[in-house]
Amino acid sequence: MPDKTLRILVVDQNLMRASVIEEGLREAGHAHVVVVRDMQNLLRRIVDADPDVIFIDLENPNRDVLEQMFQVSRSVHRPVAMFVDRSDASMIEAAIEAGIGAYVVDGLRKERVKPILDLCISRFNAFARLRDELDRTRQALEERKLVERAKGILMQQRGLREDEAYALLRRTAMDSNLRLSEVARSVITAAQLFK
């Protein structure tokens, strides 16, 4: 990644292992690297540091520590790369579900840090685009449901055909400078008031 201004947070209790990651990042030209060794109030420390990317190194993590790190990943919405010395299929699956961009098992070497950083950011951005697209699709579906429901109400209460009900909703939205879904929501609310 060409952006050398990235703020990178390294979470690692082991000074030697943290220095491997830090050295790899600095050799790749990243000067804004902060190392956190104390896991107490980790989420607060991450929020305070406001990093662009997070590297988490867990030498021999137990499941509780891994789950805590997965929770951090879900909460911060940043690219996260995680290094572990051992893992199993369920932990790898949990890492993917938690949005870990790079889950590296037994591969902590400084020459691998830059490619892992690039992969982590790329995967995070790809997942973010998919998440945004999914959110937009869900919203469009919800809006469509509102419009269909409002058309049904207008058809029933005013004796309109479907195309006439839609035209009335659309005209009202344009005249009121509102979104079609907002007008539909108002029709539904009004219908509920008069039940």
Task: Read off the pLDDT of residues 150-192 as tens digits, 9 standing for 90 and up.
Answer: 999 999 999 999 999 999 999 999 999 999 999 999 999 999 9
Please state which architecture CATH assigns to domain 136-193. Orthogonal Bundle (1.10)
CA distance 73 to 85: 19
Q: Cβ of 149: how many Cβ atoms within 10 Å?
A: 15
**Does residue 2 carry a pLDDT above 50?**
no
Residue range(s) occupied by CATH 3.40.50.2300 in the chain: 8-133
Quick one: average pLDDT of 31-41? 87
Please state which architecture CATH assigns to domain 8-133. 3-Layer(aba) Sandwich (3.40)
Phi and psi dihedrals of 168, rounded to 5? -65, -45
> How high is the mean pLDDT of the chain?
89
Q: Nearest 5°: CA angle at 120, between 22 and 116?
A: 50
Confidence category of residue 3, pLDDT binned at 50, 70, 90 = low
Residue range(s) occupied by CATH 1.10.10.10 in the chain: 136-193
Q: Nearest 5°: CA angle at 49, between 35 and 25?
A: 40
Quick one: average pLDDT of 81-88? 85
pLDDT tens for each residue of 92-151: 888 888 888 888 888 788 888 999 999 999 999 998 899 999 999 999 999 999 999 999
Q: Cβ of 96: how many Cβ atoms within 10 Å?
A: 14
Q: Nearest 5°: CA angle at 13, between 59 and 54?
A: 85
